[in-house]
Structure 1
Amino acid sequence: ILGNSFGYFETVEDDIRVLKEVFRVLKPWGKVLIDVADGEYLKANFKKQTWEWIDKKHFVCRERTLSSDGTRLISREIVTHTEKGVIADHFYAERLYTKKDLEELMQKSGFSDVRIITELQTLSKRNQDLGMMERRIIVTAVAKKDWAPLRIKAKDRTKNIVVILGDHRKPDKLKPNGIFDEDDFYTIDKMKSALKEIGGYNIIYLSNHDTLVQDLMKLKGKIDYVLNLCDEGFGNDPQKELHIPALLEMLGIPYSGAGPRCLAYCYDKSLVRGIAKEMGIPVPKAVFIKPEDTTFEIPFPFPVIVKPNFGDSSFGITQKSVAFNPEQLVNAISEIREKFGYDKPILIEEFLQGKDLTVGIVGNPPENYKVLPIIEEDYSSLPDGLPRICGYEAKWLPDSPYWQIKSVKADIPESVEKFIIECCIKLFERLECRDYARFDWRLDSEGNPKLLEVNPNPGWCWDGHLAKMFYLSSLTYKDMLKAILEATETRLKIREEVKSIF
C-alpha cells in the first residue's frame, strides 16, 4: 500500500477493516508493506498555509489544521487557473498514526511480525510543499494463518482425507526450545500450500491429540484415508509414534506410511542392525550398553560414535558424540544421559569416515516403487577439527556450523550404488515399510558401504532429505507429497488410473 494512500477514512475501525481485508486475501505467510505518513512528525511540523505554482497557468493554495482531538490533519486545497479562476476547492483528512499506533493497528487486524523498517525523508529540488509525503514510515507485517478450505466444484471427483500432525499445543522435547517454533509453523504451512496446489482433495487437519480419538471416530466412514504426518508421535512422544497407526488400525481407518510393527522395529537401532546382519547386509561394528552397565569393552579401535539406541531425528547425536579416546567416550555418554535426559540403552559404533549417504524409496516394492537419486552430505564447509556427521546440530540449530552442510548427488561407483539399492529394497520389504522410507548408509575408509539406520515415515518437510532427492530429480516439494499420496492410494487400491509423476 504505497504513496501514503492509507489512513483517509473517517474512523480507525474503517482502517482496520481495510487491513483485515488485506489479511484475508493474502496467502498464509504473505506479507504486506505500507508506506504511510509519520503522524508524530507531521503533528509537530505541518505547515498551516502554503501556496505554489503547479505550472504556468495553475497554482494551488493549501490550509491545514489539526482536528479537535488531535488525531487527524485536515487539509483544504484550492486550485486556481490564472484566467478561469478557482477550478477546484476540496477538503480531506489523514489520520496521524505513530509507529506504536501502526504496530497495534496491524496486530488488531491479525498480522504478526510487525516491523518498522525505516523512515523516509522526501526532498524537493524546487522547495515545493510536500505535505503528507514529507516524512513517511515503512511498515511490514506477516499474515500467519491457515489455508481457507478449498472450494471444490460438484462435478470434480475428490477424495476426502485427514492429515494427522504433531500437537503444537504440547511440549516437544526433541525441539531445541521444547516447543513448536516459527520454523515448525512455517513448515506446516508450506505443506498445506503444496497439498492445496495438488488439488482433488478435501482435507481435514487434526493436531489436537487430546481429542484425536473422538475426532477420528466421528470421521470414520466419511473419509478415504489418513495421511499420517505425525512423526512427533502421539502426544509429541517419539516413543509413541507407532500409537497413531495402531489407533487407526483399531478404528479400521486406512492410512499412509508404515504400520505400528515397522515403526517399533526401526525405532530400535540395535534390532535393525541384527535383522540386517541376518540378511547379510553389512553394518558397522558396535557395542550395546545397558543403563546399568558401569564397565564395558570396545572390541574395535577408536574413533567411535555414541548414539541413543532408541530414537530418531538425530536426537542425542552431536559433534561430542564422536570420541577419539576413552575420556571423550565417557564424556559422550554423559552428555546423552545428562544433557538429553536419555536413560535407555546406548549404541557405541565404529565411526566410519567415508561418504555419508542417504537412499529414498517411494512406492511399494516389488512392483510399484521408485528409488530416488542417492545423496551424500557435503562437509566441505565445516571447519577443520569438527567430526563429519549430520546430527542434531545440522537439523535443529541454525547458528551451528553444521547448519551449512549441503546435500548433493552422490558420487559413488556404480557397483556400490547397485549393492546399496538392492539392500534397501530387501530391507523395505523385510521391515514392512510402506509407501516411502529412507535409508542411511556410510562408507568406511576403503569405500565399503555399511547400513546405519532405516527411517520409515521419514521427515516430510520441504527442506528435508527426501525433498532434496526430489529436487535432484527436477521435481518439486508438491511432487513429493503427491508421490506419497499416489503410493498410498495404489496400495489401498483406491487410485484412479492417472499418470504418475515419475
Structure 2
Amino acid sequence: MVLRVGLTYNLRKKIAEHEGLPEDYYIEFDDESTVNAIASALASGGCRVIKIEADENAHTKLRRCKPDIVFNIAEGTRGESRESHIPVILEMLGIPYTGSGPATLAICLDKAMTHKVLSAYGVPSPKFQVFKRADEELDGNLSFPLVVKPLLEGSSKGIRSSSLVRDEKSLRKQVSWVIKTYRQPAIVEEFMPGREFTVGLIGNEEPFVLPIVEIQLDKLPNGASPIYSYEAKWVWDTPEKPLDIFKCPADIPLELDEEIREIAIKTFKILNCRDLCRIDMRLDKEGTPRVLEVNPLPGLIPDPNAHSCLPEAARAAGFTYEELICTILWQALKRYGLQNLFKNKHLVKIP
C-alpha cells in the first residue's frame, strides 16, 4: 500500500494595485519551488503526493480525495485564526495531519495571548501592551525604546526598521500605521537589547532541539534598527545577495545554550506544539532569554541562501532536506499510530 499524502499550502502571489494591500501581505505564503521541493521529498519517502491549495475549495478537495495524512504548510487566507483553517477542516473530515492543532495555531498567531500563556507558566517574555487606537495611554510599566508590531502576524509582517521607537511621537506614528495598514491592533513590546536566537524543535513528547541559530543583527546594513524586520528578512537578505546573518550553531556558552534549550522545550510543551516548531528568543539587559514569538508553522524553504531558519538548523544537525521533511511526516504518523504506513524509514532521523 502506497501512503497517500495530501500537501496543503498557500502560494505566494503578486499584489494587484486595486487590492490596496500592504507589500508584505502574502509574504508568509510559499513559492511554488518550496511546495515542489516538499512534494519531491515526500515522494522520495515512497509517498504518493496530492497537492491541494488551501483556498475556499480546499474542504471539497480534501473530502473527495481523503488522503491518509496531510502535510500541512498552509498559512490560511484571512482572519485572526487563519492558520487554524486547514487543521479544523481536517479534524472535521477525520484526516490526520502534520503539525499543531487549531487551538495552538490560533494562540501562537496572537502575540499577546502567547505572552499571557507563557507568563502564567513562568516562561520569560517581554512586557507588552495592545493598542486598538493610537491615542491610548502608554502603560507606565513600559519605557522606551519599544518595538511596535501587528498583533496577529508572522514572518516579520508589519515589522519595519522604523518599528523600533524611541519616543512618544514615533510610537504614535508607528502604532497608527500598523492599525491602519493591517486593520488589526498593534502590540507594543519592551525592546530586548541583547543577542537574538531562534530554536527549531522536532518531535512530540520529548522534542529534539536542533542546533540554536543566532541572528547576527550586527550584519545588517549601516543605520538599520537592530531588529529582525521585514527589510532584514525579505529585502536586504535575498538568495541572490545573502547577508551573512545566521550563525549555526550559535557561538554561546554552554550554560546559555542549555538555558535556551530548556526554555524552548518548556514553551513547546506548554503550548501543546506538535511535530515541529520554531521559537524566537532574545536576551534582555540582564542576559536572560525571553521568548519573543512561537511559530508552530515555520517556513521550510529548501534553498540554503534563503536563510529559512528551521532548514538551516536541520542542515547543521546533519539532515538532508528529504530527511527533514520525512522526519516531520514520521512524527505525525507516529502520533496517530500510523508509522507502519511509511516504508522508507532510512529517511527518518528522529525515530
Q: TM-score, normalised by structure 2?
A: 0.86
Quote the residue 1:501 is aligned against: 349
Distance 2:250 2:288 in 1: 14
Match of 2:100 among 231, 234, 258: 258
As a proportion of its length, which structure holds more helix?
A: 2
The one-letter amino acid of 2:3's match is K
Look up the match of 2:137.
295
1:185 to 32, 52, 71: 32
1:392 aligns with 2:230: yes
Q: CA RMSD in A?
A: 2.8
Q: Distance in 2 between matches of 1:259 and 1:290?
A: 28
Counterpart among 47, 50, 60 of residue 201 in structure 1:
47
Which of 342-351 and 432-441 deviates more? 342-351
Cα separation, 1, equivalents of 2:7 and 2:38: 11
* 8 Å contact kept, 1:167–1:236: no
Q: 1:277 to 1:241 in 2, by over 3 A?
A: same
Residues 217 and 171 from structure 1, CA distance in 2 versus in 1: closer, same or farther, beyond 3 angstroms? Answer: farther
Q: For residues 274 and 485 of structure 1, do their structure 2 counterparts lie closer, same or farther at Cα, with a shift above 3 Å needed?
A: same
**Is the 8 Å Cα contact of residues 242 and 259 (structure 1) preserved in structure 2?**
yes
Q: Which amino acid aligns with 2:104?
A: C
Of residues 265, 269, 278, the one that matches 1:425 is 265
* Equivalent residues of 2:118, 2:270 under 8 A apart: no
SS at 1:241 equivalent: helix
Q: Report what 1:139 is aligned to.
A: none
What CA deviation, in whole Å up to 9, does each residue of 1:122-176 have, x standing for no partner? xxxxxxxxxxxxxxxxxxxxxxxxxxxxxxxxxxx52111101115679699883
User: How far off its partner does 1:456 sit?
Assistant: 0.7
Structure 1 residue 245, shift from structure 2 partner: 0.4
How far 1:204 sits from its partner (Å)? 0.6
Q: CA offsets, 1:301-329, max 9 Å, x none?
A: 32111111212111111100001222221
8 A contact 1:357–1:440 mirrored in 2:
yes
More displaced stretch, 177-186 vs 326-335: 177-186
Q: How far did 1:457 drift?
A: 1.7
Q: The residue matched to 1:436 in structure 2 has which SS?
A: strand
Q: Residue in 2 aligned with 1:414? A: 254
Matched, 1:244 2:64: no
Q: CA deviation at 1:205?
A: 0.4
Whole-Å Cα distance in 2 between the matches of residues 299 and 406 of structure 1?
A: 33
Offset, 1:237: 5.5
User: How far off is 1:373 after superposition?
Assistant: 0.4
- Residues paired across the two proteins, number: 336
Structure 1 residues not aligned, in runs of 5+: 1-156
Q: Tell me how far 1:376 sits from its aligned partner.
A: 0.5
Match of 1:479 among 314, 317, 323: 323
- Secondary structure of 2:332's counterpart equals helix
Match of 1:356? Answer: 196
Q: Deviation at 1:297? A: 3.5
Distance 1:169 1:452, change over 3 A: closer
**Higher normalized contact order (CA 8 Å, seq sep 6+, divided by chain length):** 2
Pair 1:344 & 2:190 matched:
no
Q: CA deviation at 1:473?
A: 1.4
Instruction: Tell whether the 8 Å contact from 1:175 to 1:396 is kept in structure 2 after alignment.
Output: no
Decide whether the 8 Å contact of 2:277 with 2:297 is kept in 1.
Answer: yes
Structure-1 separation of matches of 2:191 and 2:310: 24
Q: Provide the residue aligned with 2:211 in structure 1.
A: 373
Aligned-partner SS, 1:439: strand
Shift of 1:250: 0.7
**Partner Cα separation in structure 1 for residue 115 and residue 25 of structure 2:** 30
1:467 is displaced (CA, Å) by 0.4
Q: What TM-score, normalized to structure 1?
A: 0.62
- Whichever residue aligns with residue 483 of structure 1, its letter is T
CA deviations on 1:70-99 (whole Å, 9 max, x unpaired) are xxxxxxxxxxxxxxxxxxxxxxxxxxxxxx
Partner of residue 164, structure 1: 8
Between 411-420 and 277-286, report the one with greater CA deviation. 411-420
> Max radius of gyration: which structure?
1
How far residue 208 of structure 1 moved from its aligned partner, in angstroms, is 5.9
Deviation at 1:389, TM superposition (A): 1.4
Q: For residues 169 and 208 of structure 1, what CA distance do their matches in structure 2 show?
A: 14
Q: In 1, are the aligned partners of 2:197 and 2:215 still within 8 Å (CA)? A: yes
Unaligned runs of 5+ in 2: none
Deviations 1:12-56 (A, max 9, x none): xxxxxxxxxxxxxxxxxxxxxxxxxxxxxxxxxxxxxxxxxxxxx
**Aligned match of 1:329:** 171
Structure showing the higher strand proportion among its residues: 1
Q: Which amino acid aligns with 1:406?
A: I
Q: Counterpart in 2 of 1:111?
A: none
Distance 1:370 1:246 in 2: 26
Percent identity of equivalent pairs? 34
CA contact (8 A) 2:104 2:272 kept: yes
Indicate the larger mover: 166-175 or 444-453. 166-175
* 450 and 206 in structure 1: CA distance in 2 versus 1, 3 angstrom threshold: same
Amino acid at match of 2:71: L
SS at match of 1:276: helix
Pair 1:217 & 2:60 matched: no
Q: Secondary structure at the match of 1:404?
A: coil
Aligned letter for 2:199?
A: V
- Displacement of 1:381 in angstroms is 2.6
